[in-house]
Amino acid sequence: MTRIRMTVDGVSYDDDVEPRLLLVHYLRDRLGRTGTPIGCDTSNCGACTVDLDGKAVKSCSVLAVQVDGSVVTTIQGLAGDGPSGAWHPVQKAFHEKHALQCGYCTPGMIMAAVDLLRDNPAPTERDVREGLEGNLCRCTGYQNIVEAVLQAAAELKGATR
């Protein structure tokens, strides 16, 4: 067992964990942050994507002990405070552009899109398609996801102007 400390969605935790415990299992099984789902065992699908110290990572591809001392934001911490807190523009755009069907890929897709827009605030359609290459969706055919990210980009640009 190894002692780790971590802030997840604004709450700090202090826990003993097995060194082999994946971050995503720590979030889901230990902390009950089940908003972040698991879609594969090979780090291909991106469903588990969270924000780790300001960067999107696949939380199935890191061990909980590796991120000792970090700040993690999951889909459940992206909106403003409270269960009906204000949505992030990417969340809002996913809703308005019908960029989700079953919603299983959605948390990872949204977290990856937030990261993409941080790196490239004015992406082209091609940039979005390539930027989200590590996140698989089986329902939407991606077209509305791409449109949602472009809409969110426009909105974020307007907000910072």
**Based on CB atoms, which residue is closest to ligand FES, 143 or 157?**
143
The reply on whether position 125 binds another protein by CB under 8 A is: yes
- Number of residues that this document lists for the chain: 161
Chain residues 57-76 in contact with ligand FES, contact rule CB under 6 A:
58, 60
Three-state helix/strand/coil letters over 22-44: EHHHHHHHHCCCCCCCCCCCCCC
DSSP state letter for 30? I
What are residue 112's phi and psi, to 5 degrees?
A: -70, -40
The reply on whether position 80 binds another protein by CB under 8 A is: yes
Q: How far is the CB of 104 from ligand FES (least distance, A)?
A: 5
Tell me, residue by residue from 112 to 151, as one string, x for binding to ligand FES by CB under 6 A and - for no binding. -------------------------xxxx-----------
The reply on whether position 98 binds another protein by CB under 8 A is: yes
Chain residues 7-46 in contact with another protein, contact rule CB under 8 A:
18, 20-21, 25, 28-29, 32-42, 44-45
In angstroms, the CA 127 to CA 122 distance is: 9
At residue 48, the 3 state secondary structure works out as coil
Angle among Cα 87, 66, 23 to the nearest 5 degrees reads 45
> What is the maximum span of the chain, computed from C-alpha positions, in angstroms?
49
Residues that bind ligand FES (CB under 6 A): 38-40, 43-48, 58, 60, 100-106, 137-140
